Chains A and B, each alone.
Chain A
Amino acid sequence: MNQQPNSTLNRRAFLVRTGWLAAGTTVLTGCSSIIPALPSTKDPVAEDGLAWIQIMPDGRVRFYCPRMEMGQGAPLGLTQIVAEELNVGQEAIDCITPATDQVPPFKMTVGSEGVSQFAEPLARASAQLREALRARAAGKLGVPPAKVADATGGFAGPDGSVLAYGTIAGQSGFSILEADMSAKPKPADRHHTVGQRWRHPDLQAIVTGQMTYSRDIVVEGMAYGDVLRPPAFGAELLRADADKARAMEGVVAVVIDEGDNFVGIVTENPFILDAALHAIQADWSRPAAADPVQTLDADKPWDEDDFEHEILSDGSIQAGRDEATDHLSHRYDTPFAAHAAMEPRAAIAKVSGGKAEIWCGSQDPYFVRGRVCRVVGLDEDDVVVHPHRMGGGFGGRVPCQASEEAARLSAAVGRPVRVQWDRETEFRHNYFQPAFSHRIAAGIDGSGRIRYWDHGFVSSPIIFGLVPKPLSYILDLFVADEGTARGATLPYAPPSRRVRYSDVRTQVPTGSWRGLGAAPNTFAIESMVDELAAEARMDPLAFRLQNLPKDQGRLAAVLQTVARDADWGRPQPASIGMGIAGAIYKGETYAAIVAKVSVDRAAETIRVNHVWCAQDCGRVVNPDQVESQIAGNIAWGCSMALKEQVPFDGGQLDVSNFDGYDVLRHDDAPNISITLIDPAKAAPSGVGESAFGPVAAAIANAVFAATGHRFRKLPITYDDIVPATAS
């Protein structure tokens, strides 16, 4: 069985050669205008962690957190990991978001990796620091290290006297930069901090309005900038006339670069900025564009039997067809989607004297640094990025384009410049989740066993969605985008199965969005599995359990747990339905969802009343944060199922604010119940996106149970349900 795209080896070789895989490390230094800035992709190792933790002279622990906080809470979980190994309470550790000159580059904050990838290296580094402190304490006490016992915030000598970290560290503080990394983290049965519901240290600041996001920063002497951005995909600047704007009182400068589609303005105060910007007369080309949704049509390559990538192939589809007694073939479609984080991005840039400073929010401050370097022609050593808590990320803030715009304007006027995107810019000038189009053909035998599964889908590149031309032309020839394919391999094991896809670019820029392909792909898979269950006249839970292989016990367990919690199988009144779905996220986190849906014919509404989730994400570092993430995943799943869709007109975006892009609000937010299965022996796995995948399918399956109408295209709306149930 081949779980990886066929082109894995080629891709890795190519990416290493181009520097893509080594981004942010040592391959690229200085600033090259030929090679584009690249996201930071190097996985953390224990040695990296040494640079993140220090003992201060007062004995406090300073933790430079290598994860950007955007609400996912991973910095809190990692703080608990450090505190665990160093035997300190929450009051004795400071979690600090480092500027780019404070610690070496670290991987971008994506993929629900905050705890799953960083906990182990950080625990090892913290243990190493603890043992180095123990050795020092032993020296001070004149006893062997083995005689120095752990104590809160320090160590206890053989006579019981406590030596605090501050005493051991001394006036210069204490950290280690090189070590043999032989120290062992505590075993799970000695944990006193991991598994506790620590409260986020930012709560007080958030509820009192004191939390500083990038929009809230003030830099002395700053001016206010904004940019006229292309009004359409592919639009080129033809002409810009700024005479009127330049004559306005308070306008500091107008910056026009026609070759680079750049028109920017800087003003003395924020109140005249919008009027001054729109006093510039700019003409843009209007390229014709095809409907991107129609471009992404699974039936074209399906009918031609010509998908670019094959990620799974077991047995013979033809043999499976021969064995099956019932056959189904259906299309499933999900639309383009936007991140719509509540904080539109913003940045302040101060470019002067051959140096630059940037204040912003980004999932990858080192990527921001690299991109700013190229804009202003400085080396990476001369640019410092100060990242701030983000008002939501969801994959949409790997770059911070406002940083580059502000840097360009600051370089032009020689003083700090602030650029804040408004909501329309946030909706129209970032990248998107691509639409997905699936065709699945599958069949069952007389005992309700899936005999074959043939799945082909089309979407756009996600992980490589932002690779600029011309690199993208070369890349697309042989790279299968694993982000697009995330979650596309079904957990069930029919004897014959095949999964193929094509990742096709349209004019719409695409990139990471919560879970990448996981939610669209799970929607298709778990909808079809439900259809097969109905075809077999079997209970959807029983059908799933029967078709799961023995080695998927953890998925079976969450399905059984969520069914128990939701009282699955109890007869429901008319117009109320229950739906179930499950998925494995990134091969490590097991989530199952039951949704209870009611259809109100008088009010003409579909309401999701309750969503249950059971999740096995390995050892739980902070149950409060994990439950919070699951609640967010459920909200996103409801929003995807019932609300979200980027509208297009003539191949161009037809959205500028929340009135054109509906997201879940309080009035449609269901009650939720969460059960965490906490197997202490399994390492913590990702939780930021894991429960999202199955939610939309569970809702669509519940609507089917309530009405007999099968939604194969999202979002689900009441208006679409009526013809099917009225007939």
Chain B
Amino acid sequence: MFELNGTPTTVPAHLRDATLLDFIREIAGLTGTKYGCGQGLCGACTVHIDGDAARACQTRISDVDGRKVTTIEGLAATTADAGLHPVQQAWITASVPQCGYCQPGQIMAAAALLKANPDPSDDDIRDGMAGNICRCGTYPRIRQAIKIAAGKG
């Protein structure tokens, strides 16, 4: 049993060895969290576990027993305001996405980064986001969007 975007979720016994990524995509039907590499190398599957960024492809479903998992679909609901999370809004303002496939993971990583460091420097962003690959090369706009979300855009 764990909490998935605020909903108590029961894991069938035979799936306890499945990855969190497979569970949320195949069983919960939440496909915003993406498979990119399956080895924790690209960040496309980034989710929050108890508020911290984690790689869903490297997390067994049994490891989140009793914990709170937030995916891109549940991110907006973690803020008090109606509508989008400030990071999602900043992504639209800065027109970040190209293909868009890595962006849910980038947004989840950025939201966790800003929670830990509300006023990141360029180098803080570069280092903090280095685990998330964007093959389209939206890195400069991601930096811009993170600054917008931090209120410095």
Identify the A interface with B (CB < 8 A): 70-73, 197, 199-200, 202-204, 206-213, 215-216, 218, 269-271, 340-344, 389-394, 420, 422-423, 624, 628-629, 631-636, 639, 657-659, 663-667, 669, 671-672
Contact = CB atoms under 8 A, between A and B. Distances in A.
Number of chain B interface residues as a range? 35 or more
A392 B135 contact: yes
A389 B100 contact: yes
A207 B138 contact: no
Contact of B84 (A73, A208, A664, A669): A208
A344 B44 CA distance: 12
A280 to B, nearest CB: 20
A666 B34 contact: no
Contact of B100 (A206, A633, A659): A206
B142 A628 contact: no
B140 A667 contact: no
B26 A200 contact: no
Given A207-B103, A635-B134, 6 more contacts: A197-B95, A208-B72, A271-B18, A342-B44, A344-B35, A631-B140
A666 B142 contact: yes
B125 A657 contact: no
B141 interface: yes
Of B36, B39, B41, the most chain A CB neighbours within 10 A belong to B36
A210 B32 contact: yes
Given A342-B133, A624-B95, A271 B26 contact: yes
Given A664-B137, A667-B126, A669-B140, A343 B101 contact: yes
A200 to B, nearest CB: 7
- A218, A342, A394, A420: most-surrounded residue (chain B CB, <10 A): A342
A204 B97 CA distance: 10
A213 B25 CA distance: 13
B42 interface: yes
A635 B37 contact: no
18 contacts: A71-B100, A206-B100, A206-B103, A206-B104, A207-B84, A208-B76, A211-B100, A342-B36, A342-B136, A389-B100, A422-B38, A423-B36, A423-B37, A632-B136, A635-B134, A657-B39, A666-B130, A667-B130
Nearest to B29: A218
A342 B34 contact: yes
Contact of A667 (B44, B127, B136): B127
A667 to B, nearest CB: 4
A503 B53 CA distance: 47
Given A200-B97, A390-B99, A658-B37, A209 B32 contact: yes
A188 to B, nearest CB: 24
Given A341-B99, A394-B135, A208 B31 contact: no
B95 A666 contact: no
A107 B135 CA distance: 25
Contacts of A200: 95, 97
A340 B72 CA distance: 23
B30 interface: yes
A629 B142 CA distance: 14
Contacts of B41: 657-659
Contacts of A212: 31
A70 B136 CA distance: 10
B33 A209 contact: yes
Contacts of B126: 666-667, 669
Interface in B104-153: 104, 107, 122, 125-127, 129-143
What are the 10 A-B residue pairs with the smallest beta carbon separation, nearest first? A209-B32, A635-B137, A391-B101, A71-B99, A71-B98, A669-B139, A209-B72, A206-B100, A216-B31, A632-B137
A215 B91 contact: no
Contacts of B142: 666
B44 A631 contact: no
Contacts of B135: 340-342, 392, 394, 663
B1 interface: no
Nearest to A218: B29
Contacts of A423: 36-39, 42
A628 B98 contact: yes
Interface in B72-88: 72-73, 76, 84, 88
A631 B137 contact: yes
Given A71-B100, A658-B133, A204 B92 contact: yes
Nearest to B130: A667
A657 B40 CA distance: 10
A269 B133 CA distance: 30
Contacts of B129: 666-667
Contact of A657 (B15, B37, B137, B143): B37
A666 B72 contact: no
Contacts of B26: 269-271
A631 B31 contact: no
Contact of B92 (A199, A344, A631): A199
Nearest to A269: B26
Nearest to B92: A203
Of the listed residues B30, B95, B98, B99, the one surrounded by the most CB atoms of chain A closer than 10 A to its CB is: B99
A342 B102 CA distance: 7
A72 B44 contact: no
Contacts of A669: 126, 137, 139-140
Contact of B15 (A199, A271, A632): A271
Contacts of A624: 95
Interface string B1-25: 0000000000000010010001001
Contacts of A628: 95, 98, 138, 141
A271 B73 contact: no
Given A71-B98, A271-B22, A635 B38 contact: no
Contact of A207 (B34, B88, B98, B137): B88
